[in-house]
Amino acid sequence: MKTQFLVALFLVLCLAGSALAQTDTARIFGTITDPTGAVIPNATVTVTDKATGRTQTLKTGGSGDYVVNALPVGKYHVEVKLDGFKTATADVGLEVSQVLEISLKLETGSASTTVDVTGDVPLVDTATSSAGEVIQGTQVTELPLNGRNFTTLALLTPGVSRGQYSNNASAPNNNAETWRNAESGGAALAVNGLRPQSNNFIIDGIDNNDSMVNTLVIFPAIEDIAEFKTTTSVPPAEFGRSGGGVVQVATKSGTNSIHGAAYWFNRSKTAAADVFSIPTTPELSRNQFGASLGGPIWKNKIFGFVDYQGWRQNVPAGVQNVRVPTALMRQGNFTEVLSPGGTGSATSLPYSGLPGCSAAMTAQPNAFLTTAKGNYGYVFNPQTCLPFGWDTTADAPGANINIIPTANQVTAGMNYLNAFPVANVPGANPATNDTNFRRAQQNITNMDDYDARLDVVASSRDTIFARYSLGDDFLNNVPFLQDSGHFLPSGNGTNPSRPRQVAVGYTRVISNKVINEFHYGYIRDILGYQQPDSSVALAAGLGTRTPIPLRCSAVCRSSAAGSETSATWATAARI
């Protein structure tokens, strides 16, 4: 048994040793030959990163081949030297996870003579069967991009679309997990017809997937992206995880040159069209602003890059048409809901099983009459199960029908009715349950996102990087039943989102054929939902001792019993 365990452990370790990390670095390989096509061993190959000055030097093998691994995205200078041959050079740009062949032919002559090879450098990726598209940094920052959502540029890749309209990844209802960048499609990418939840998002070789909807956790700012790649077919086995696309983002790092940017994009309602259903143009304001800065901390050794992006947006979120108490109702007078013709729909009749209601229905049948079109709009006293102001002698409406006496009014209930905004729709008929209040609703978005990255070139064989990204983002659906004098919670509340990620990487070139690349990542998205005005002390504002439901209030009190009874103002003033 012990022997079997050791064998199994050995096999597992062997397989683990051959596993590849989800790296975003590139690789150069090639073969060096002489004018006759014969391979040249022991030629010196030097690869220099133009941005940081880092160099890697190695010798070609016995078959003239060489390989340089773990090269970050950027521009490189390749130089090949050998006594008796002219020096050959080539300048190339490496993309995310690119495997590029640079095979050079050395001409006989002095090594002090340099031959710059350009047109003969192979540009076709012959080392992988993967298909996809790389969007370079200049494209990301220069192409028009409404909302500055980088995933929009992934749509330039053949086979990629946003998928079915209103899928979960595009936040159709401002879902807590996916509302960020919802106006521009969020992170919904359907690759070759697969669901948007089938993708694998990676940033700097670190997992960037939300575990609930499988969307992005970190939305990198445009200025933070060096480039990104969308692989749509046959991704390398090192990625795995999903059958859809693989979206790899490489963030910017500092270089030996100081570089940065500052920007501000604004859109307002100045030239916006009016909305027919409301008298004034809704608020519309969108501001995106930020800055980035990168450069050397210690030239050729330590580099830093930081960026910030802010988003302040106030956009219409539809028009709310609701019912609010009228001026008379705020005084306890509900005569406006009376319907002498029996066509009212604002109130309903009491349930016969309530205490005293069965006897009241027998003794005063006219109070409970209905027609094929509705009822007569009576407001019932819960203590007597009869309409307020009902003449029990005549079994008919009295002079004060539907008027709640002051002695029966509960302060908290009257406060509740007065907490609603004032009706603003002229001609609305309360008896037929018409909506009498209209207000445009707004969505307010505040986002603050930060990134900081540090790169260290410890030696020609050792490089280290560390990055920290965080966001402090809020979406607030403004309560439409609030203004300077009214405070009822309404709307869809607030969706906070606070994404975080720590990424650390260490790369060690052990030999020309052995390399160790270590990445560590910690990612967390703190998100949730807060009810409208969850911090408002509504019960205290209404004058109650204990919290009460939003749509229920005590509006009547029986002077005989001295007890409080709950009533509802919602579908009507039903008691």
DSSP letters for 351-411: PTTSTTHHHHHHH-GGGG-EETTEE----EETTTTEETTEETTTTEE-TTTTB--GGG--H
Q: Which residues pair with 231 in a beta bridge?
A: 132, 246
For residue 419, pLDDT beyond 80: yes
pLDDT of residue 547: 53
Please answer whether residues 364 and 391 qualify as being in contact, where contact means their C-beta atoms are separated by less than 8 angstroms.
no
Tokens 């008027």 appear where? 403
Instruction: For 217-237, write each residue's pLDDT tens digit.
Output: 999 999 999 999 998 887 777
Say if residue 374's pLDDT is above 90. no
Residue type, 334: F
Distances (CA, A) of 353 to 357, 371, 416: 7, 22, 28
Identify the band that residue 188 occupies on the pLDDT scale cut at 50, 70 and 90.
confident
Q: Note the pLDDT of residue 488.
A: 82
Q: Out of 88-97, 200-209, 213-222, 538-547, which region has the weakest mean confidence (pLDDT)?
A: 538-547
| CB-based contact 340:376 (threshold 8 Å) | yes
What are the C-alpha distances in Å from 432 to residues 196, 231, 320, 338, 348?
Answer: 47, 60, 19, 9, 12
| Terminal CA-CA length for the chain | 78
Residue 33 pLDDT more than 90?
A: yes
What's the mean pLDDT in 241-265? 91
Half-sphere exposure of 378 (CA within 13 A, CB side): 25
Cα gap 28→15, rounded to integer Å: 25
CA distances from 400 to 1, 338, 365, 404 (A): 95, 12, 19, 8
Q: Are 284 and 297 in contact (CB under 8 A)?
A: no
* pLDDT > 50? residue 19: no
The residue extents of the domains of the chain are 18-127, 132-320+441-527, 339-423+545-574
Q: What pLDDT does 184 receive?
A: 84
pTM of the model: 0.77
Q: What's the pLDDT at 98?
A: 87
Q: If you average pLDDT over residues 161-183, what whole number do you get? A: 75
DSSP-derived letter for residue 33 is: B
Give how far Cα 186 sits from Cα of 135, 167, 170, 172, 357, Å: 18, 10, 5, 10, 56
Greater pLDDT, 424 or 240: 424
Helices (H) and strands (E) in the chain, counts: 5, 33
**What pLDDT is recorded for position 556?**
34
Q: Give the model's pLDDT for residue 550.
A: 43
- Of 565 and 250, the one with more pLDDT: 250
Check whether 6 has a pLDDT greater than 60: no
Superfamily of segment(s) 18-127: Carboxypeptidase-like, regulatory domain (2.60.40.1120)
CA 312 → CA 154, 268, 283, 287, 522, distances in Å?
Answer: 25, 12, 13, 5, 28
Predicted local confidence at residue 13, as pLDDT = 41
Q: Can you tell me the distance from the alpha carbon of 192 to that of 132, in angstroms, rounded to the nearest whole number?
A: 11
Which of the four pLDDT bands, split at 50, 70 and 90, describes residue 125?
A: low
pLDDT at 123 over 60: no
Q: Which SS3 state, helix, strand or coil, does residue 270 take?
A: coil
Most confident of 67-71, 369-373, 570-574: 67-71
The pLDDT of residue 169:
67
The four Cα atoms 352, 358, 360, 361 give a dihedral, to 10 degrees, of: 70
Give the per-residue pLDDT at 118: 65
Tell me how far apart the alpha carbons of residues 203 and 246 are, in angstroms, rounded to a whole number.
Answer: 11
Least-confidence region, from 312-326, 441-455, 561-575: 561-575
pLDDT at 325 (0 to 100): 93
How far, in Å, CA of 100 to CA of 93, rounded? 10
Q: Per DSSP, what are the bridge partners of residue 438?
A: 321
CA nearest neighbour of 118 among 95, 94, 89: 89
Q: Which helix (H) or strand (E) holds 500?
A: strand 493-509
pLDDT tens string 37-55: 999 999 999 999 999 999 9
High-pLDDT (> 90) share of the chain, %? 46
Comparing CA positions, the residue from 502, 544, 533 lying closest to residue 520 is 502
Query: Is the predicted pLDDT of residue 379 greater than 70, yes or no?
Result: yes
Neighbouring CB atoms inside 10 A of 445's CB total 21
- Residue 572: which of 442, 377, 309 has the closest Cα? 377
In this predicted model, what pLDDT tens digit does every residue of 271-313 receive, in sequence order?
A: 767 666 666 666 788 899 999 999 999 999 999 999 999 999 9
Question: Residue 453 pLDDT > 90, yes or no?
Answer: yes
Model confidence at 530: pLDDT above 90:
no
Q: What is the pLDDT of residue 575?
A: 28
Tell which wins on pLDDT, 42 or 552. Answer: 42
Q: Which residue has the tokens 């998100």?
A: 527
